[in-house]
């Protein structure tokens, strides 16, 4: 039994998985692995994600220390998101899932991010 931020988890996997379980976090993290990305770039890459959800996902992951947000004081504003060391630590797991899907789902053959 683990308690973290007022929530209880039954094991480490439960806790860790919860951090990336929402609809788009995994995809976002994988995209950021290619290098830092701007808000609009992320939105375009995912395509389907709404602004609101992209924002909450990014903020939550920033609070968890998975990603870093850098704001350039320009007009129009420029913001870049990138992976932290902690964030880089989960990506290998996501890569495995991606490869696993490509192997096991014919539809996904060769479908990279």
Measured from the CB atom, the residue of 44 and 70 that comes closer to a second copy is: 44
Kindly report each contact of residues 85-93 with a partner whose C-beta sits within 8 Å and lies 24 or more positions away, as own/partner: 87/29, 87/32, 87/61, 88/33, 90/16, 90/19, 90/20, 90/29, 90/66, 91/29, 91/30, 91/33
Residue pair 29/94 in contact by the 8 Å Cβ criterion:
yes
Q: Does 40 bind a second copy (CB under 8 A)?
A: no
Q: How far is the CB of 100 from DNA (least distance, A)?
A: 20
Q: Which residues contact 98 (CB under 8 A, 6 or more apart)?
A: 30, 112, 113
CA distance 78 to 38: 7
Q: How far is the CB of 24 from DNA (least distance, A)?
A: 7
Q: Does 16 bind a second copy (CB under 8 A)?
A: yes
Residues 21-50 binding DNA (CB under 7 A) are 22-24, 38-41, 48-50
Residues that bind DNA (CB under 7 A): 22-24, 38-41, 48-53, 55, 57-59, 69, 76-79
Residues that bind a second copy (CB under 8 A): 2-4, 8-17, 19-21, 23, 26-27, 30, 46-48, 65, 86, 89-90, 92-94, 96-105, 107-108, 111-113
């Amino acid at each position: 039994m683990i308690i973290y931020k007022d929530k209880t988890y039954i094991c480490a996997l439960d806790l860790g998985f919860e951090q990336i379980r929402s609809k788009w976090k995994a995809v976002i993290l994988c995209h950021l692995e290619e290098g830092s990305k701007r808000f609009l770039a992320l939105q375009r890459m995912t395509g389907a994600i709404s602004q609101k959800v992209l924002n909450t996902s990014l903020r939550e992951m920033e609070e968890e220390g998975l990603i870093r947000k850098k704001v350039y004081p320009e007009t129009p504003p420029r913001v870049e998101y990138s992976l932290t060391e902690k964030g880089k630590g989960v990506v290998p797991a996501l890569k495995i899932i991606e490869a696993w899907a490509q192997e096991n789902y014919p539809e996904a053959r060769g479908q990279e991010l």
